[in-house]
């Protein structure tokens, strides 16, 4: 074990500039990925706040009676996804409208009568605030007697939904690119390291070193690149978010679990890259050695 | 201990390197494997440490057979076989001590045993005084001594030497041969491939002749090669 660690660090310090480029590239790649993940998380957060405010307003006919209103409220309350209902009378609606308008409330004086219809505010459970469910609930309410119109910002919700989907798509797409790029760069760096130590591998084969002893130092080296790259990029992301959060207070950085997962993810990429590289290179080196020996033998005999 | 049963080896383009070879190497003996370059000497040596496998027939080394050995058993077999080459195969970035200790480090030897075993092997080949030198600071003969120490440090039952004196001056050659004889008297079998017939001391070892992949009488090789010119 001591040997394996010694070899790993020897490899790490021997080829400094190449290793720095590798770590740098992984850092940048994972940083970009992290930036998008953090961006998505924050946008999702904003969307969640927005969705929280989604409410359904059922406008009622002007001449509706008190009994009908109670009956309607009961009926609406039994629909799946409805949390609670609240009746808003014409007068209350006008008062609210006046409050919303503030100084412009004088505009209302142009109306001789109250133009606002009575309504029922319907609170929807969080899980049912999707365009599909909202439409379903609205369709059920529409057929009730005394209902004039229903408003729940259908278009606006659809747009939000679309935006979330696009963001997820970009995240996944970017994630795949970052995964391949990181694996590729580790693959190539380890390849150079392995080839630089071709003779050493040859001797290890000769004296009876097991595959573990031959391969592990390179695999650990690759994991170390991934680990360092993701650690540095997470740190830069943290600093960036600290700075931004001073200006935009509601912004959130990854939580501890996500940070841990992120670094684990980087290390895993390093592992995959170096593992694939080592397996391929060592076989190539062995093949080359055999071909080389064969050529030498053939040359001698003819 | 080591047995070749009807072993043939074809390389690419159906080139026949060994042709139905039957051989038996006993414990603790000294063997010379002689023949021209390309006669199949290296092929035989590589088959013993299972770097290459027969196309036909079977090679048996200790408890392992070329037919049944598993990939993960090959390192275990090689720990019991020491190998040295004409080009020494030392690691240029390590000193003499580290080159020898390397064989123990990479085979999982206990840390506390490495120093003792390494120093013992170095003293056996009389190179202890140069343990801090790097390969480029040594003569060919000295480098080969380091390679022998590295092969011996794992206490193999046989030492395979492929043209061990090919890159060594006459003085060094004498030293190397003495060391090989010395190791042999301590119980390790030696199998030395060479085309330098002047090294052969028939009083000490047995001679196996090889021509065009076939076992022949050593006398035939001596006669033919000596009358036919160099080698």
A296 shares its domain with A219? yes
B77 close to A (CB below 8 A): yes
A208 close to B (CB below 8 A): yes
**pLDDT of B16-67, one tens digit each?**
889 999 999 999 999 999 988 888 898 999 999 999 999 999 999 999 999 9
- Sequence-distant (6+) residues with CB within 8 A of A180 are none
Residues 234-293 of A with CB under 8 A from B: 290, 293
Query: Which structural domain, as residue segments, surrounds residue A239?
Result: 2-49+159-301
Given pLDDT bands bounded at 50, 70 and 90, which one contains residue B136? very high
Give the burial class of A136: count Cβ atoms within 10 A of its Cβ; 0-12 exposed, 13-18 middle, 19 or more buried: middle
| Partner residue facing B106 (CB), from A3, A293, A301 | A3
Which helix (H) or strand (E) segment is A217 a member of? helix A211-247
| Contact criterion met (CB below 8 Å) for B2 and B10 | no
> Mind telling me how many Å the CA of A225 is from chain B's nearest CA?
24
A294 close to B (CB below 8 A): yes
Q: What is the mean pLDDT of chain B?
A: 90
**pLDDT of A37-52, one tens digit each?**
787 778 777 777 777 7
A2 close to B (CB below 8 A): yes
Quick check: B38 and A301 CB within 8 A? yes
Q: Outline where DSSP puts E strands in chain B.
A: 2-11, 15-25, 30-34, 56-61, 64-65, 81-84, 158-162, 189-194, 206-211, 214-216
From A89, A119, A152, the end of a domain falls on: A152
A164 shares its domain with A285? yes
Chain A: residue whose CA lies nearest to B156:
A207
**pLDDT of A93-120, one tens digit each?**
888 887 877 777 677 677 767 778 888 8
A-chain residues near B156 (CB < 8 A):
none
A112 shares its domain with A191? no
A43 close to B (CB below 8 A): no
Quick check: B76 and A208 CB within 8 A? yes
Mean pLDDT of B100-112: 91
Tokens 């330098």 belong to residue: B196
From A130, A152, A174, the end of a domain falls on: A152
Structure tokens at B157: 């039952």
**pLDDT of A66-92, one tens digit each?**
888 888 888 888 888 888 888 888 888
Mean pLDDT of A247-258: 77
A69 shares its domain with A28? no
B-chain residues near A193 (CB < 8 A):
none
A143 shares its domain with A229? no
Given pLDDT bands bounded at 50, 70 and 90, which one contains residue A2? confident
Residue B94 pLDDT more than 50?
A: yes
Quick check: B37 and A213 CB within 8 A? no
Residue of A287, A297, A299 to mutate when probing chain B, most B C-beta within 10 A: A297
B103 close to A (CB below 8 A): yes
A204 shares its domain with A273? yes
Give residue B229's pLDDT: 42
| Partner residue facing B38 (CB), from A213, A214, A297 | A297
Quick check: A209 and B107 CB within 8 A? yes
Residue B222 pLDDT more than 90?
A: no
> Mind telling me how many Å the CA of B203 is from chain A's nearest CA?
30
A227 shares its domain with A289? yes
Given pLDDT bands bounded at 50, 70 and 90, which one contains residue B225? low
A-chain residues near B148 (CB < 8 A):
none
Query: Under the phi-then-psi rule, with left for phi > 0, alpha for psi from -120 to 50, and beta for the rest, what region is B191?
Result: beta
Count of domains for chain A: 2
Pairwise CA distance, residues A21 & A3, whole Å: 26
Quick check: A3 and B72 CB within 8 A? no
**CATH code of the domain covering residue A88:** 3.30.70.3040
A128 close to B (CB below 8 A): no
B-chain residues near A211 (CB < 8 A):
72, 75
- What are residue A84's phi and psi, to 5 degrees? -160, 165
Pairwise CA distance, residues A26 & A234, whole Å: 12
Quick check: B11 and A298 CB within 8 A? yes
**Interchain CB contacts (distance < 8 Å): A and B:** 71
Give residue A298's pLDDT: 66
**pLDDT of A118-141, one tens digit each?**
888 888 888 888 778 888 888 888
CB atoms within 10 A of CB B169: 12
Residues 186-205 of B with CB under 8 A from A: none
A74 shares its domain with A43? no
Chain B: residue whose CA lies nearest to A1:
B108
Give residue B115's pLDDT: 94
> Mind telling me how many Å the CA of B171 is from chain A's nearest CA?
27
**pLDDT of B167-202, one tens digit each?**
899 999 999 999 999 999 999 999 999 888 888 876
Quick check: A209 and B42 CB within 8 A? no
Radius of gyration of chain B (CA): 18
> Mind telling me how many Å the CA of A39 is from chain B's nearest CA?
48
A171 shares its domain with A296? yes
Give residue A248's pLDDT: 77
A38 shares its domain with A175? yes
SS3 B6: strand
A194 shares its domain with A269? yes
Give residue A156's pLDDT: 74
Pairwise CA distance, residues A137 & A69, whole Å: 18
Give residue B231's pLDDT: 39
A295 shares its domain with A170? yes
Instruction: Say whether pTM exceeds 0.80.
Output: no
**pLDDT of A16-40, one tens digit each?**
777 888 888 888 888 888 887 787 7
Residue B101 pLDDT more than 90?
A: yes
Chain A: residue whose CA lies nearest to B35:
A301
Give residue B125's pLDDT: 93
Chain B: residue whose CA lies nearest to A296:
B38
Residue of B9, B47, B93, B106 to mutate when probing chain A, most A C-beta within 10 A: B106
Query: Under the phi-then-psi rule, with left for phi > 0, alpha for psi from -120 to 50, and beta for the rest, what region is A81?
Result: left
Among A204-218, A228-242, A249-263, which is the least confidently predicted range? A249-263
Given pLDDT bands bounded at 50, 70 and 90, which one contains residue A145? confident
From A131, A152, A173, the end of a domain falls on: A152
Quick check: B106 and A298 CB within 8 A? no
């Amino acid at each position: 074990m001591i040997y394996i660690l010694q070899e790993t660090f020897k490899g790490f310090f021997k080829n400094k500039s190449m290793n720095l480029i590798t770590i740098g590239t992984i850092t940048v790649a994972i940083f970009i990925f992290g930036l998008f993940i953090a961006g998505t998380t924050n946008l999702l957060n904003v969307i969640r706040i927005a969705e929280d405010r989604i409410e359904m307003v059922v406008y009622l006919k002007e001449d509706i009676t008190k009994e009908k209103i109670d009956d309607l409220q009961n009926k609406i309350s039994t629909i799946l996804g409805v949390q609670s209902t609240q009746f808003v009378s014409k007068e209350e609606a006008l008062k609210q409208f006046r409050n919303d308008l503030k100084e412009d409330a004088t505009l209302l004086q142009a109306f001789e009568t109250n133009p606002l219809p009575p309504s029922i505010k319907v609170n929807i459970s969080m899980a049912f605030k999707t365009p599909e469910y909202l439409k379903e609930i609205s369709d059920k309410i529409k057929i009730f007697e005394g209902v004039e119109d229903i408003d729940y910002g259908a278009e606006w919700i659809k747009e939000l939904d679309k935006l979330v989907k696009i963001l997820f798509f970009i995240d996944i797409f970017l994630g795949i690119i970052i995964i391949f790029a990181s694996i590729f760069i580790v693959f190539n760096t380890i390849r150079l390291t392995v080839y630089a130590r071709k003779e050493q591998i040859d001797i290890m084969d000769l004296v009876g070193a097991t595959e573990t002893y031959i391969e592990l130092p390179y695999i650990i080296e690759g994991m170390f690149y991934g680990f360092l790259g993701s650690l540095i990029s997470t740190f830069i992301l943290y600093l960036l978010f600290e700075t931004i959060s001073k200006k935009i207070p509601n912004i959130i950085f990854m939580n501890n679990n996500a940070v841990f997962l992120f670094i684990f993810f980087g290390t895993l990429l390093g592992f995959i890259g170096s593992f694939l590289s080592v397996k391929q290179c060592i076989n190539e080196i062995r093949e080359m050695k055999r071909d080389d020996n064969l050529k030498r033998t053939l040359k001698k005999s003819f | 201990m080591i047995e070749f049963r009807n072993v043939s080896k074809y390389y690419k383009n159906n080139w026949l390197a060994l042709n139905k070879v039957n051989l038996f190497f006993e414990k603790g003996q000294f063997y010379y494997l002689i023949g021209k370059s390309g006669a199949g000497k290296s092929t035989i040596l590589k088959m013993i440490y299972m770097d290459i496998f027969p196309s036909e027939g079977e090679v048996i080394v200790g408890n392992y057979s070329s037919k049944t050995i598993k990939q993960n058993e090959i390192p275990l077999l090689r720990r019991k076989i020491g190998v040295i080459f004409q080009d020494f195969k030392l690691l240029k970035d390590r000193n003499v001590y580290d080159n020898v200790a390397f064989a123990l480090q990479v085979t999982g030897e206990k840390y506390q045993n490495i120093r003792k075993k390494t120093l013992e092997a170095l003293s056996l080949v009389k190179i202890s005084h140069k343990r801090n030198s790097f390969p480029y600071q040594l003569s060919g003969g000295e480098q080969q001594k380091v390679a022998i120490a590295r092969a011996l440090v794992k206490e193999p039952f046989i030492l395979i030497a492929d043209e061990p004196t090919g890159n060594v001056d006459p003085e060094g050659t004498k030293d190397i041969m003495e060391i090989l004889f010395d190791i042999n008297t301590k119980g390790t079998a030696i199998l030395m491939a060479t085309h330098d017939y002047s090294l052969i001391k028939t009083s000490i070892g047995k001679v196996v002749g090889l021509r065009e992949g076939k076992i022949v009488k050593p006398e035939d090789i001596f006669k033919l090669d000596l009358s036919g010119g160099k080698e």
